Structure 1
Amino acid sequence: MRNNSFKFYKCTNELLNRYKQNKEIEMFNLGSFNEGNNYTLYVSDEVEDKKTLAFLSMSFEEKSLEIDEFEVVKSQRNKGIGKAIILNIQQSKEIDCIQLYAQDNISKKFWEKCNFLPEDDGLGTELMVWRKE
């Protein structure tokens, strides 16, 4: 899958709920946020059949992105899509730093494969951070 084949769209609660009801995603219990610097987006493949591939909840401020939730739709997992989406974001000229809290060791390993490094957040919790070189 080409990295530039993704489009990001603002997500609605209706779309999130439909994917949750169909058990295609498990996260996003607080619904979608699209105000201020906080966004919930869905990622679509613009090359094939424009299907929804993943959901992303984040906040953006001054070239820094904080990912609150990221989940690839179950039917699209284990195809390299999650890593390709993150690589696409990392290649953006508007972003110099991405940070997040990994939920578990499996999640942490995924982020490490995407070149994130663990750092102490100053509160004793491990923060996963990627910085543009």
Structure 2
Amino acid sequence: MSETRKPSVLFVCVHNAGRSQMGAAFLTHLGKGRIEVRSAGSSPARTVNPAVVEAMAEVGIDISTETPKILTTEAAESSDVVITMGCGDACPVFPGKRYLDWKLDDPAGQGVDAVRPIRDEIEHRVRGLLTEIGVEPRA
């Protein structure tokens, strides 16, 4: 990753309504503006999962205005790191990109009690990613 620009990370899941939204929100929050963050889905839902919005609000992160976005070739090409979260073969692969596949339970159709452990695991992994790319996470 270049020293002259922000590193960029793309989170991808099928519906861009749960896991990828949480990943992007945590990275945006903890990265303190030092990382370009995107999220997308191979088959986006109409809205973000309400249980995910509630679970993130519990930790002080408001994603209530976020909307699921379609995964584009441009988003993947312009990202240094692409983190997939269950999008399977629908995720494009480009040479020179770093790919991480985070196997996590899908919060679709789950209540907030089931979403909390997924949220906490995503936060843990995002903190690890920040350390790997040399960005000190927000406390």
Which TM-score applies when normalising by structure 1?
0.27
Whichever structure has more helix as a proportion of its residues is 2
Q: TM-score, normalised by structure 2?
A: 0.26
